[in-house]
Structure 1
Amino acid sequence: ALAWKMLLSPNAGFINQFFIDHFGFSGPIFNIYTYYGISGVEIMYLFPFVFIQVCGALERMDPTLEESARISGAGLFTITRKITIPLVLPSILSGALLIMLYSMAHFGTVAVLGIENGIYNIPTLIYERIHQSGGSFDAIRTGTVLATVLVVTAAFIIWLQRKILGSGHYQIIGGKSFRPMELKLRGLRYPLLIFCLAYIAFTILLPTAVIFLVGSLKTYGLSFALSNLSLDNYKFILFDYKVTRDAIFNSVTLGFTAAVITMFAGVMISYVIVKMKVRGKGILEFLGMLPFSVPGSVIALGVILAWSGQFGINLYNTVWIILVAYIARYMAFSLKANSAALEQVHDSLVEASRACGATMWQSLRDVVL
């Protein structure tokens, strides 16, 4: 959001200024401070959620299914519609679910690009109410009601996904990895390559380069001429400023620890949700997804209230309370990624393992994982 603000701001955006200086425009041609501008930044930011999950599903898919359909005379459109899309549908829906939940509870982009222009979502509205009132009880109560709207919406989205996936089976019977079938693009090869490179350059390289270059400017507002650039800012922040070193250490340590814990816990919970016939597993999935559907500030407040000693354990003012918040907030990533993968593993593989004398843990370790 900060990068695109510097690029497409109507008054001082670098892209707008470039068009005004070199093409004779009388005013800015882009305005990032609009609903469409905010939506565009959100799309570019959230694109990897679906990409990572669908890419993994396509890599796990048995190419013989598509090859058999092609031998039977089916065209590319028919194969894609009747075989490929149904098999990766759990991953598509999982990514879409994460995107919808995250965008509803996302604070940063709308806070940077929307608040000053009167564009709000629920998290920024909660922040605005509490900030303007100095943290009064009425504002906190209003924020709680608004957060409840997100919770109810999240429950509906999760129910809808289970309803769609429950109407069909999307599994592959096989215990080995596969080499995906490659499509012959022929004349589309170079146009698609150019499209992919252009997308990467526009959505990743351009904003990243702007952030780095602006950080290198001796004074904000100067041009990007070499005489105006310096690495002194980075030298001070990275090597001379002790708070930065502490922050990097905390981020890496907390991130790695939270990732390991959510990975193992997510596998186990996903296995219960997808593969085991137990009552209440829908509630378990909802509880795992719930923290992801509410703003991080609400999660932080809840963690403080729950782990401040009122229920026996006091983690307040320690680094561990941040770890608890991370695990609660991002467990949804592990649940949806693992659930989408488990949807593709046929139950007969585990049943065959159990029939050969393997325990449930051995089957999980040697077959499912």
Structure 2
Amino acid sequence: MFVIVAGFIAFSVVAPSVGIFGNSFFESGSGLTLRWYRETLTSPGVLSATLNTAMVVVGATTIALVSGVVLAWLVSRTDIPFARVLTIVPVMPLFFPPVVGAVAWVLLLAPEVGLINEFLRAVTGGAVGPVNIYNVWGVTWVVGIYITPYVYLMIANAFQQYDGAYEEAARTAGVSTLTVLTRITIPLLRPAIMAGAMLAFITALAQFSIPAIIGKTGDVDVYTTLIYDMLRSYPRQLDSAAVLSSIMVIVTMGVLWYQRRLLRRSSRFVTMSGKGLRRTRLSLGSWRWPLFVGIVLYVLITVVLPAFALLNVSVRRHWSATLSLEGVTLDNFTWLTDGFNLATESMLNSGRLSVIGATIGMLLSVLIAYTVVRSRLKGRSVLDYLATFPSAVPATVLGAGLLMIYLGPPIALYGSNVLLLIAYVAHFLPQGTRTATAAFHQISPEMDEASYVCGASWPTTFRRIAVPLIGPIVAGGWLFLFVLMSRELSASVLIASPSTPVVSVVILDLWGNGSVPQLAAVSMVVLVLSAILTMVVQRVGNRGGAR
């Protein structure tokens, strides 16, 4: 197992990463050099992209952190109405793959034909705008919306394990709810909040699809879109792309290192002991219903309006802000099923790749987790680090590295589904491994020991004892990997070819070609499928946790 995982990581992640760093530091005929760093980092385009990247990452992280903490606190720790029903609400933006969400927000806030702008002009009497999404603030807003669920999930889980005795004592002493939140709850949950902030930071830094659709239209580049342009230009600017990719890897690894360091010191913030938890809910008083309305508005803004905008344009012959029923047509959906076009082929190919990739990914993840958690194999901690190493390499950088290494001989994989599968499994292996590891930690090792005492071998114990017990959680993990792989764009856009289309890349191509109604129809189909799968993942995960 160690050899298999080490070989796969070396082939899929380490070799591309070494290739990237090699291209950034070496010059043919001159050897080691800093020339590419000097030339790349002093060019006006890169300086502008650096500023834009910093603004998007910091701004989106702030939006996601504030929204995620507030939503997690309201749903998990207060007496807000319909709290159990509202647990799904903060996750609902995940229904939108980022590329689909970006398109939806353009349909809402495009300066001339955006639905919201059309409404605002009708109210104010203006001629254009007044809101323009094609700038760095538009990119920041949309990225922040779609990374909020990740922060929410992490912090809501921490709230579930939080002992309410501290809050109860403060409330008994007459402290206000707001003071309890700011002086007790948030400080005690600082490790989880910091971990959520770092997750948001890494996710925002690696984001490609939203800047590609919203930012590029307004000539706003970030590192990921600039790397894409450098690798798609002729001749390819491999050296400059390697420099930016190296910087992203270094920053990501630095954030992950700090996260590990923070978690090692988290014992200072322990609130759960063997005495049991008090999960009392704080009273919001007269703010209960206003805050409930605020969450309803959150759903309206982040989910309902974008979905409506996609639906409205998908039944039009041309992109416009009209809401009239006149001219409504289903031709764009008929186009999807009429013959075997690229959009249909891409959805089928994405489905095949996601099924195979999720199966391989979870199989590797379960074997890795079992080895790390249950076995006494020497070097199993190294195996754990190898399995999590891909999380330090952003998807765009992974795609760039795979393109540089496997574009031609001796191993030419470009233009094949094999290269896409390698990228998907490698990039999402950490998520699968974390899911499987958590599942094995829930099972007492006494069951394995009893099996061994009865004379069962390791394979038999694994097959007859471990797998049935963790089945529901593994099924949820498989579905989670399927959803992630089916919507992946950042790596796919660099290594997919016309012979290996995937749906996210086709959506981006339709946007570039100006085929907005057809794009909206494809996006609606993807949105519905993604919403169904996301709800299934959560349902299976909840059953697994209950088990």
- Mapped partners of 2:373, 2:271: distance in 1: 12
Q: 1:323 is matched with which residue?
A: 421
Q: 1:206 to 1:219 in 2, by over 3 A?
A: same
* Contact 2:208-2:224 at 8 Å conserved across structures: yes
- Mapped partners of 2:254, 2:355: distance in 1: 32
* Contact 1:147-1:295 at 8 Å conserved across structures: yes
1:8 equivalent in alignment to 2:106: no
Q: 2:301 is matched with which residue?
A: 202
Q: 2:264 is matched with which residue?
A: 166
1:110 equivalent in alignment to 2:208: no
- Mapped partners of 2:106, 2:360: distance in 1: 36
Q: How much does 1:303 deviate? A: 7.0
* Contact 2:109-2:117 at 8 Å conserved across structures: yes
Q: 1:288 is matched with which residue?
A: 390
Listed one character per residue, the Cα deviations across residues 164-204 of structure 1 (whole Å, up to 9, x for unaligned) are 11112359567x9x996444444332112211111111111
Q: How much does 1:268 deviate? A: 5.7
Q: How much does 1:34 deviate? A: 2.0
* Contact 1:58-1:180 at 8 Å conserved across structures: no
Pairs within 5 Å for 1:1-369: 1-59=102-160, 61=161, 65-67=163-165, 70=168, 73=172, 78=180, 86=188, 89-90=191-192, 92-132=193-233, 134-136=234-236, 139-169=237-267, 181-221=280-320, 223-266=322-365, 269=368, 280=382, 283-284=385-386, 287-292=389-394, 294-295=396-397, 297-301=399-403, 304-305=406-407, 310=410, 317-335=415-433, 353=446
Q: How much does 1:335 deviate? A: 4.9
* Contact 2:191-2:266 at 8 Å conserved across structures: no
Q: 1:191 to 1:303 in 2, by over 3 A?
A: farther
Moved more, 257-266 or 113-122: 257-266
Listed one character per residue, the Cα deviations across residues 135-171 of structure 1 (whole Å, up to 9, x for unaligned) are 33xx111101110001111110111101111112359
The amino acid that maps onto 2:308 is A
Q: How much does 1:109 deviate? A: 1.3
The amino acid that maps onto 1:144 is A
* Contact 2:165-2:278 at 8 Å conserved across structures: no
* Contact 1:150-1:293 at 8 Å conserved across structures: no
Q: How much does 1:83 deviate? A: 6.8
Unaligned runs of 5+ in 1: none
Listed one character per residue, the Cα deviations across residues 75-116 of structure 1 (whole Å, up to 9, x for unaligned) are 6655886578756844x4454333322221222111222234
Aligned length: 351
Helix, strand or coil at the partner of 1:100: helix
Q: What TM-score, normalized to structure 1?
A: 0.76
Q: What is the aligned-residue identity percentage?
A: 23
Q: How much does 1:39 deviate? A: 0.3
The amino acid that maps onto 1:43 is G
Unaligned runs of 5+ in 2: 1-101, 453-457, 474-544
Helix, strand or coil at the partner of 1:114: helix
Listed one character per residue, the Cα deviations across residues 37-77 of structure 1 (whole Å, up to 9, x for unaligned) are 11001011111212233334444x27xx3258636957665
- Mapped partners of 1:364, 1:87: distance in 2: 33
Q: What TM-score, normalized to structure 2?
A: 0.54
* Contact 2:388-2:430 at 8 Å conserved across structures: no
- Mapped partners of 2:166, 2:218: distance in 1: 56
Q: 1:350 to 1:53 in 2, by over 3 A?
A: same
What is the root-mean-square deviation of aligned Cα atoms in Å? 4.2
* Contact 1:101-1:293 at 8 Å conserved across structures: no
* Contact 2:113-2:321 at 8 Å conserved across structures: no
Moved more, 98-107 or 354-363: 354-363
Q: 2:78 is matched with which residue?
A: none
Listed one character per residue, the Cα deviations across residues 281-307 of structure 1 (whole Å, up to 9, x for unaligned) are 6853652313336446415415735xx
- Mapped partners of 2:366, 2:288: distance in 1: 38
Q: 1:271 to 1:52 in 2, by over 3 A?
A: farther
